[in-house]
């Protein structure tokens, strides 16, 4: 239940209605948030956009619209940001995936991916950063850091969170980011058969999703959406990703496989082996994703060396800095010959996010493996992200600094902040240490999974369920048939995510499934939906939203119908509401704006509507 404050000082807000015009619909949202304060009191802050570095020829504040015309639709832009550097996207389109990967393997400089736009805020702020705050930084990133290999900006949890919690369409975010970052490869997280969801989807859905994602942003040319280096389906089952590869073969997409390490010492059985089944699928490079048990420097060096023995392809390392030592891990991997690494802007780096970009750039400067990124340019973006993070304080992961406990519980950095939010929602926020311990027990019961989404969600769901019911993990493991088990766990045990590399946990699995009604593993879609997936871009996107996340899509549509396009609201106004006596400007689109000035308290407050003289103004749209 949201916290409420007395409305006697602003009685006019009691009469908020839902008329048809979009300006007053937005006022309805603002009235609700101003009165109820679901995210607490409004913090004192500056507009983060005022902290963006000034670019030559730029306007005072950047365009954050998600609907403006595509300024780059006429062709591929040349040098990134006018810097003279040919951006990675241009190189990919010219060289093709194989040529691009070969050039990456041959270069001496360490290639860098910036995760600030996706995994960093997913890991630290429960994925709540809105499109307008990402788009605002796009032009600066494009102009100041054109040497980046890629910007990870889409997919993963961002897809359903935009629909479920932010009242935004994830496809509009993708389009807007491509407009602002035209020359650098945009990278996404694709969960194999699970696409951007948590369960496997029919082949038609996965094919349509990859096709639309590859075509989005640049209407006249094929576009890059490079799947991140993850387990194809959360368990390493090689059967799942085949159709994903096939549907991309005619497009300039760069695909990364995923190499997994077990506990130290290096587990050779979990490393990928070059085999004929993978030839011709367009795999451009393997990668390692260090989610839970962050690899120590020696382990990372051993892993990279082992991959080098098996592949003459680029190796891309991704890790989370939960324990605080992953910069050393990246440097050890660099010494061992890694080709690319993931980092985040310093204000959104560290702990459950990735290591700091500026720290890595400084550490490798003036060495044979210098990243080529300018340290001053990287640092110039930090004040903006500092200001953005302050606005999203209610969604912080709750981890004030590094923790060595990650070496014990192995909760992935990208899951930790969301798991904390789930615990709070279930009334278990004060028992999070118990949830950490139960996560370890649940992982052991399930057979020590490779913990990436959605397999990590399976472990987290079981841990929350066991703590919430005060269950003893030993008793649960012995007699699971006597307990209510989350659907995600039953689906995993039923094989929905494939076959785990370590085998099934028996006899636990058989006991847990005994007497339960199991859903069919191969779902199908209707003929009408198949037609929609082959229709126009708009029709395909709407169908994908609904097929992937029916509930969140319904929530999104309800928000749009009731409140209008809330993405146009400034983030402080969207989260915290309005300040009495202060004018708030709302940019509705490129052709109009509006303002609202909440009144000072009425002299004689009542439960009836105030007189017009003390009521807030409506939004005024002007051409």
**Three-state secondary structure of 29-55:** HHHHHHHHCCCCCCCCCCCHHHHCCCC
The Cα–Cα gap between 25 and 8 comes to 23
Cβ-contact 140, 48 below 8 angstroms: no
B/e letters for 237-255, b = 16+ CB within 10 Å, e = fewer, are: beebbbbbbebbeebbbbb
Cβ-contact 324, 235 below 8 angstroms: no
Q: In the beta sheet, which residues pair with residue 288?
A: 259, 317
Residue 279 has pLDDT above 60, yes or no: no
Q: Judge if the upstream peptide bond of residue 529 is cis by omega within 30 degrees of 0.
A: no
Cβ-contact 595, 30 below 8 angstroms: no
* Interval 184-222: pLDDT, tens: 999 999 888 889 988 889 999 999 999 999 888 433 223
- Confidence at 287, pLDDT banded by 50, 70, 90: low
Q: Residues 110, 346, 321, 124: is their CA dihedral positive or negative?
A: negative
Q: How many CB atoms lie within 10 A of CB 357?
A: 31
Residue 557's Cβ-count burial label (10 Å; 0-12, 13-18, 19+) is middle
Q: List the structure tokens of 385.
A: 């992200």
Task: Tell which wins on pLDDT, 255 or 266.
Answer: 255
Cβ-contact 251, 214 below 8 angstroms: yes
The pLDDT value recorded for residue 60 is: 54
The Cα–Cα gap between 569 and 164 comes to 17
What kind and span of H or E run contains 594? strand 592-596
| Domains of the chain, CATH where assigned | 11-51+556-614 (3.10.600), 406-513 (1.10.472.90)
Nearest to 145 by CA among 374, 369, 379, 344: 374
Residue 172 has pLDDT above 60, yes or no: yes
List, in sequence order, every beta strand (DSSP E) within 270-349.
283-285, 287-290, 316-319, 340-343
* Interval 15-63: pLDDT, tens: 444 445 777 899 999 999 999 999 999 988 778 999 999 987 665 566 6
What kind and span of H or E run contains 584? strand 584-589
Cβ-contact 348, 124 below 8 angstroms: yes
Residue 498 has pLDDT above 60, yes or no: yes
Residues ≥6 apart with Cβ < 8 Å to 14 = 7, 607, 609
Q: What are phi and psi of 596, to 5 degrees?
A: -140, 130
Of 329-343, 435-449, 573-587, which gets the smallest average pLDDT?
573-587
Residue 156 has pLDDT above 70, yes or no: yes
Cβ-contact 127, 161 below 8 angstroms: yes
The pLDDT value recorded for residue 244 is: 42
Within its chain, how far is the Cα of 504 from the centroid?
30
Q: List the structure tokens of 302.
A: 């051993």
Q: How many CB atoms lie within 10 A of CB 172?
A: 19
Q: List the structure tokens of 49.
A: 């956009």
C-alpha dist (Å) from residue 347 to 132, 310, 343, 344? 18, 37, 11, 8
Of 134-138, 375-379, 400-404, 476-480, which gets the smallest average pLDDT?
400-404
Residue 397 has pLDDT above 60, yes or no: yes
Q: What are phi and psi of 294, to 5 degrees?
A: -55, 125
Task: Tell which wins on pLDDT, 559 or 237.
Answer: 559
On average, the pLDDT of the chain sits at 81
């Amino acid at each position: 239940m949201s916290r409420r404050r007395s409305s006697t000082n602003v009685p006019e807000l009691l009469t908020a209605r839902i008329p048809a015009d979009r300006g007053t619909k937005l006022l309805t949202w603002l009235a609700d948030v101003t009165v109820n304060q679901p995210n607490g009191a409004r913090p004192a802050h500056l507009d983060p956009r005022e902290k963006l570095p000034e670019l030559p020829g730029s306007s005072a504040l950047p365009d954050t619209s998600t609907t403006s015309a595509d300024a780059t639709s006429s062709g591929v832009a040349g040098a990134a940001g006018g810097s003279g550097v040919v951006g990675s996207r241009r190189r990919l389109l010219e060289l093709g995936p194989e040529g691009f990967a070969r050039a990456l393997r041959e270069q001496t400089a360490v290639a860098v991916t910036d995760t600030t736009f996706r995994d960093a805020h997913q890991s630290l702020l429960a994925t709540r950063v809105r499109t307008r705050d990402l788009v605002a930084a796009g032009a600066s990133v494009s102009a100041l850091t054109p040497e980046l290999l890629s910007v990870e900006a889409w997919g993963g949890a961002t897809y359903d969170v935009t629909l479920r919690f932010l009242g935004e369409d994830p496809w509009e975010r993708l389009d807007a980011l491509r407009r602002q970052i035209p020359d650098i490869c945009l990278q996404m997280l694709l969960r194999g058969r699970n696409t951007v969801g948590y369960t496997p989807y029919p082949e038609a859905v996965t094919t349509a999703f990859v096709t639309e994602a590859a075509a989005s942003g640049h209407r006249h040319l094929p576009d890059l959406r490079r799947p991140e280096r993850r387990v194809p389906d959360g368990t390493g089952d090689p059967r799942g990703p085949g159709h994903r590869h096939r549907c991309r073969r005619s497009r300039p997409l760069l695909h990364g496989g995923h190499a997994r390490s077990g506990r130290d010492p290096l587990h050779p059985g979990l490393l990928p082996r070059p085999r004929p089944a993978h030839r011709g699928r367009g795999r451009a490079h393997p990668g390692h994703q260090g989610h839970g048990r962050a690899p120590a420097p020696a382990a990372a060096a051993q892993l990279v060396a082992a991959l080098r023995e098996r592949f003459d392809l680029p190796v891309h390392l991704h890790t989370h800095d939960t324990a605080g030592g992953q910069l050393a891990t990246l440097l050890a991997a660099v010494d061992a010959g890694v080709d690319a690494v993931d980092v985040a802007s310093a204000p959104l780096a560290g702990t459950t996010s990735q290591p700091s970009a500026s720290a890595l750039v400084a550490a490798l400067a003036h060495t044979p493996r210098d990243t080529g990124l300018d340290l001053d340019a990287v640092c110039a973006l930090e004040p903006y992200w500092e200001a953005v993070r302050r606005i999203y304080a209610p969604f912080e992961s709750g981890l004030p600094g590094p923790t060595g406990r990650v070496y014990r519980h192995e909760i992935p950095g990208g899951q930790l902040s969301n798991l904390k939010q789930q615990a709070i929602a279930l009334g278990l926020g004060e028992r999070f240490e118990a949830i950490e311990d139960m996560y370890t027990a649940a992982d052991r019961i399930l057979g020590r999974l490779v913990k990436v989404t959605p397999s990590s969600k399976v472990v987290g769901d079981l841990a929350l369920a066991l703590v919430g019911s005060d269950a003893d993990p030993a008793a649960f493991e012995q007699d699971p048939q006597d307990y209510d088990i989350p659907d995600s766990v039953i689906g995993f045990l039923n094989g929905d995510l494939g076959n785990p590399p370590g085998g099934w946990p028996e006899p636990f699995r058989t006991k847990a499934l005994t007497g339960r009604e199991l859903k069919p593993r191969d779902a199908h879609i209707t003929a009408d939906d198949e037609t929609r997936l082959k229709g126009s871009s708009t029709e395909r996107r709407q169908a994908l939203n609904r097929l992937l996340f029916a509930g969140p899509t319904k929530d999104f549509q309800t928000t749009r119908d009731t409140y209008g396009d809330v993405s146009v609201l400034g983030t402080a106004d969207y989260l915290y509401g309005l300040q009495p006596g202060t004018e708030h400007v709302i940019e509705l689109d490129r052709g109009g704006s509006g303002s609202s000035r909440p009144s000072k308290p009425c002299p004689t407050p009542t439960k009836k509507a105030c007189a017009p003289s003390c009521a807030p103004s409506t939004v005024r749209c002007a051409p």
